[in-house]
Amino acid sequence: MALLVTLIPTTIGGLLSAIGIAGMDRLVRLNVIAKSGRAVEAAGDVHVLMLDKTGTITFGNRRCAAVHAAPGVSIKALAEGALLASLADDTAEGKSIVEYLRDLHPQPEPVLESLTAVPFSAETRLSGVDHQERIYRKGAVDSLLGFIGLSRNQLPAMLAREVDKIAQSGGTPLLVCVDGKLLGAIHLKDVVKPGIRERFAELRKLGIRTVMVTGDNPLTAAAIAAEAGVDDVLAEATPEKKLARIRHEQNDGRLVAMCGDGANDAPALAQADVGMAMNDGTQAAREAANMVDLDSDPTKLLDVVQIGKELLVTRGALTTFSIANDVAKYFAILPALFASIYPQLGVLNVMHLSSPQSAILSAIVFNALIIVVLIPLALRGVRVQAASAAALLRRNLLIYGLGGIVVPFVGIKAIDMLLTALGLV
């Protein structure tokens, strides 16, 4: 039985479960619940990441970056009209406009109680206030032009160019008017999260392609994608388009990860190899996904993929070490077993172990000790560096392959010397 234990590759068998448990534990610490171990493993093999623009790539709260006055309108008049149109707007965008204009052009402000607020609605796509029998409005370009009775072609050429520049830069243009007179445009900028470009560059080195999913028009989407450094864009995305894109990638042999929160995301989440639903999303999304983020932070999909990749690399590294370790171990065992029958095998006793009994006992003791030593590494995981698969393989072979051969030779010889010195064999 002792001989059987020594001969079989027990090291990796004892470590695989520890590696899997460690991966699940790291997810739990992230406040992500995985419904199966297979989902964590699939995360390490992902080729394509489909990421929502809002909340993942950008902050989602657009901020005022500039204002552009219409011909014949002063910046002061535009600032006053835009400030009043935004005073009752409690959205993040409205607050950012107020902050920007207060710094640009400080002016007396009426108390909120004296304003009659006109909230934004999906039908009008306008918001503003009525104050002292004057009408202040801001809103989407076409909606506001329709409100004041103008067509897109009647937009002043200079202002039209500024509106186009805003859209081409990835921003959102809003127009402002007072009593039916066009004052100018507001530039709302979608702020890309700092460090996200570098994060995508690291994923690219690991062979993972990123796809930004957004409802924006292709022009705006392309500008934000260029700034963020994503590899591809799915603009004007609908649930049907998401599902079709996932199936297309899978038909080409690629694994896909995505996150979502709405009921309309459920089919795509179910189709994706790694689907992460937000805890504050719909029940349909949570049931369709194989992971749920309790903090409802879509950015965590990047961390989930990183953990999956670490799990995969750790398993590969320790499997390499285990195989190399077993090969080295046989140099101690085979001469001890068969040298008396086949004297030629004596050349394999490169460690010059003192006796066959010592060789077998030293190998058994080493086998038991190495598992204990490697369990902390299996639990901690091998850190993944931003490099190609070939570079990672070379690194693993050098460290864990060569190490798996050298360590057993040194360890078994040391144990043999200790057993002999203590007179145990």
pLDDT at 419: 85
Mean pLDDT of all residues in 300-326: 84
Helices 356-380 and 300-338, interaxial angle, to 10°?
180
Residue 356: which residues within 8 A CB-CB, separation 6 or more?
335, 336, 337, 339
Residue 195 has pLDDT above 60, yes or no: yes
- The closest alpha carbon to 112, from 84, 140, 141, belongs to 84
More confident residue, 256 or 394: 256
Mean pLDDT of the chain: 85
pLDDT at 206: 80
Residue 10 to residues 119, 267, 335, 367, 368: CA-CA distances in angstroms?
Answer: 68, 42, 20, 8, 9
pLDDT at 10: 60
- For β-strands 172-178 and 181-189, DSSP reports them as antiparallel
pLDDT at 253: 92
Of 52, 89, 265, 416, which is the active-site residue?
Answer: 52
More confident residue, 94 or 1: 94
pLDDT at 178: 96
- The closest alpha carbon to 140, from 227, 71, 239, 216, belongs to 216
Cα diameter, the chain:
110
Residue 2 has pLDDT above 60, yes or no: no
Residue 195 gets the label, from left (phi > 0), alpha (psi -120 to 50) or beta, of left
Superfamily of domain covering 61-191: Calcium-transporting ATPase, cytoplasmic domain N (3.40.1110.10)
Does the active-site annotation cover 142? Answer: no
| Least confident range of 6-20, 31-45, 162-176, 204-218 | 6-20
Residue 4 has pLDDT above 70, yes or no: no
What would the pLDDT profile of 75-114 be if each residue is shown by its tens digit?
999 999 999 999 999 888 899 999 999 998 888 898 888 8
Residue 302 gets the label, from left (phi > 0), alpha (psi -120 to 50) or beta, of alpha
| Least confident range of 100-109, 322-331, 403-412 | 322-331
C-alpha span between 101 and 78 (Å, rounded): 10
pLDDT at 386: 66
Are 314 and 17 a contacting pair, CB within 8 Å?
A: no
Which 8-state DSSP code applies to residue 153? Answer: G
Matching fold, domains 46-57+193-294 and 61-191: no
C-alpha span between 382 and 378 (Å, rounded): 8
Helix, coil or strand: residue 287: helix
pLDDT at 116: 92
What would the pLDDT profile of 234-266 be if each residue is shown by its tens digit?
988 888 899 999 999 999 999 999 988 877 788
Residue 425 has pLDDT above 80, yes or no: no
CATH no., domain 46-57+193-294: 3.40.50.1000
Structure tokens at 423: 């007179």
- For β-strands 209-213 and 232-234, DSSP reports them as parallel
**C-alpha dihedral sign at 35, 37, 40, 46:** negative
Residue 293 has pLDDT above 60, yes or no: yes
Q: Tell me what percent of the residues of the chain surpass a pLDDT of 70.
A: 92
Mean pLDDT of all residues in 207-228: 85
Assessment of whether the complete model's pTM goes beyond 0.85:
no
Mean pLDDT of all residues in 43-62: 84
Q: Where are the domains of the chain?
A: 1-9+306-422, 46-57+193-294, 61-191
What are the backbone dihedrals phi and psi of residue 85, each rounded to the nearest 5 degrees, phi first?
A: -65, -15
